Structure 1
Amino acid sequence: MTRPTANGAKKRKNGFTLVELMVVIVIIGLLGTVVMINVLPSLDKANVTKAQADIAQLKNAAEQYRIDNFAFPASIEALKSPPAGLAQPDRYRPGGYVRDIPNDPWGNPYQIRIPAPDGGPYEIYSMGADGAPGGEGENADITAG
């Protein structure tokens, strides 16, 4: 919109119209939607991969525990501090087998099962995003090979 000045020249008013602002907001919204559609599935995959890496680290610590104490730990906490009633407490590694026991990417504690359902001696697992046994997709239980 222009306004005439005192000498008759027209002066342009600076700024954006409502229509221009609405077009920009719609474009930003569309771009945000496209980005979210592409990023969210990657986040789910990253959480599963992190859980598998944590479980692999805990499995290594459990194997070291077994070598030192001739049995697998009855709980994940036994990897950080010696459990009560340990047959030979002097065999427990000073400082434990892990510095910290992480939670899974969804904030739930990792679990250990002795024996494992597949016939193995033990299994360390996460219950997935829902924090409940079983499930499908992101909610499925996660173990590391």
Structure 2
Amino acid sequence: MSNKKMSGFTIVELLVVLSVIALLLSIITPRYFGKIKEGQEVVLKQNLATIRHAIDQYYSDQGMYPTNLNSLKEKRYLRDIPEDPIMKNQEWQIIKAPNEVGVYDVKSRSNEISSNNNMYSEW
């Protein structure tokens, strides 16, 4: 062999670096997915509050509940029907007004369990 010194990483050094990276990923990944779920819950709460506020405004102005959610959009109480971030669509569970015709309340159609240990459809 020549007198030149060989440079590079040994297999042991590479394994140590890869194990440190794997350890960091195993710590970070569950927290990342937990934050995504937490963000979806915040958006769901906000979207429910927005729709419920629009229903209340409609009732206050019109003296009756809207026949469907599209009525809120047509009369410009909402620009668009918000999306349910859990179900990834704009379909909501409609709750009819007691002894009246129209949409009294909305809930999520999801049967998943939230971080509060209750179903999203109960919010």
TM-score range, shorter chain: 0.7 to 0.9
* CA distance in structure 2 between the aligned counterparts of 1:4 and 1:142, rounded to whole angstroms: 76
The structure 1 residue matched to 2:106, chosen from 105, 124, 127, is: 124
* CA distance in structure 2 between the aligned counterparts of 1:4 and 1:13, rounded to whole angstroms: 10
Under a length normalisation based on structure 1, what TM-score does the superposition of the two structures give?
A: 0.66
Task: For residue 7 of structure 2, give the secondary structure of its aligned residue in structure 1.
Answer: coil
| Residue aligning to 2:60 | 67
Task: For residue 16 of structure 1, give the secondary structure of its aligned residue in structure 2.
Answer: coil
| Residue aligning to 1:40 | 33
User: Is the Cα contact below 8 Å between 1:55 and 1:124 reproduced in 2?
Assistant: yes
Runs of 4 or more consecutive aligned structure 1 residues displaced over 3 Å after TM superposition? 135-139
Q: Give the partner amino acid of 1:17.
A: T
The structure 2 residue matched to 1:101, chosen from 81, 88, 93, is: 81
Q: Give the partner amino acid of 1:97.
A: Y
> How big is each residue's C-alpha offset from its partner over 1:59-86, in whole Å with a ceiling of 9 and x where there is no partner?
11111111222211232222112xxxxx
| Residue aligning to 1:137 | 114
Q: CA deviation at 1:50?
A: 1.0
Larger Cα Rg: Structure 1 or Structure 2? 1
* CA distance in structure 2 between the aligned counterparts of 1:74 and 1:111, rounded to whole angstroms: 14
* CA distance in structure 1 between the aligned counterparts of 2:113 and 2:12, rounded to whole angstroms: 46
Task: For residue 105 of structure 1, give the secondary structure of its aligned residue in structure 2.
Answer: coil
The structure 2 residue matched to 1:12, chosen from 5, 9, 21, is: 5
Q: Which has a greater percent of helix? A: 2
Task: For residue 78 of structure 1, give the secondary structure of its aligned residue in structure 2.
Answer: helix
Q: CA deviation at 1:57?
A: 0.8
* CA distance in structure 1 between the aligned counterparts of 2:85 and 2:93, rounded to whole angstroms: 14
How many percent of aligned residue pairs carry the same amino acid? 29
Q: Give the partner amino acid of 1:16.
A: F
